[in-house]
Structure 1
Amino acid sequence: MLIAKTAPRRLPRVVPAALGLAATLAASAASAEDYAFLAAPQTSLNRMFRVETTSGEVGVCQFAVSDRGAGVTLCYPPGEGAGPQEPGLYALAASNHQQEGGVYRVERRTGRMSLCYVLAEQVVCTPQAR
């Protein structure tokens, strides 16, 4: 009985390519925006605040009913003081006051905070203080 010798099979070189792809995805994920969300403490509002955790930019959205009776999401853009701040580690915090329509933007590393709320169809925030 003769056994034919064959050359060993080589596996495709996908491992280095896969590692490169994984590194690219990790780098893009690290640069992606990360948000934190918090509902307004006022029980009669259906507003949801969001903050970009690195830049501190604040936005707000809420549910509304259109003229046709359909539900829509209304979002208010950042206005005075609600745009990007110095880079940091931002979060949102609510008071326990049930009539409070705004939330606090807090910078977790420095302890600075400001109150953010909707005014004239935009989100505004007070100057940061500590």
Structure 2
Amino acid sequence: MRQKLLISALLVSLPGLATSGAAFAGNYEFLAAPQTDLNRVFRLDKTTGEVGACQYGLKEGSPIGVTLCYPPGDGAKAGSPGEFALVSSHHTQEGGVFRVDLRTGQMSICYVYNESSVACTAPAK
């Protein structure tokens, strides 16, 4: 009887656990730069709008490369909560991506600046 009660209690609490875990899932979006000779992927925090990027790099004297990441810099750091997405221009020579605010319609262009960090232009509409 005690085992049955324990199993019943677990079954009742499982839907709540699944829901609370889902609240944290899917907070990031990833998009490759449209430039065809660049292996860079941008990362967006869909709530704060923070943008970073990573790409593959060669490591001298090693057959295995390294992951080079660029942290958020000017205009790419976390801001006020919103609903953000990344959009590619599909221009084959474009190394950056658009960060769009789905609530306000504002857009910024984000790119790796001086091979040190990601920068984004001021939002405009």
Query: Which range, TM-score by smaller chain?
Result: 0.7 to 0.9
- 1:26-57 deviations in Å (ceiling 9; x for gaps): 22431356111111111111100111111111
1: CA distance between counterparts of 2:101 and 2:118?
A: 18
1:95 partner amino acid: S
- What is the deviation of 1:68? 2.3
Instruction: Determine which of 29, 34, 48 is the counterpart of 2:41.
Output: 48
Aligned length, in residue pairs: 122
Secondary structure class of the residue paired with 1:13: helix
Instruction: Indicate the RMSD between aligned Cα atoms, in angstroms.
Output: 1.8
Q: Partner residue of 2:68?
A: 74
Instruction: Determine which of 58, 76, 81 is the counterpart of 1:65.
Output: 58
CA contact (8 A) 1:104 1:116 kept: yes
Instruction: Determine which of 59, 84, 91 is the counterpart of 2:85.
Output: 91
Larger radius of gyration: 1
CA contact (8 A) 1:55 1:86 kept: yes
Query: Runs of 4 or more off by more than 3 Å in structure 1?
Result: none
Q: Partner residue of 1:122?
A: 117
**TM-score under structure 2 length normalisation:** 0.86
Unaligned runs of 5+ in 2: none
Unaligned runs of 5+ in 1: 1-8
- 1:84-123 deviations in Å (ceiling 9; x for gaps): 1221111111112211110000011211110000012100
Taking only the aligned residue pairs, the percentage that are identical comes to 50
2: CA distance between counterparts of 1:65 and 1:19?
A: 52
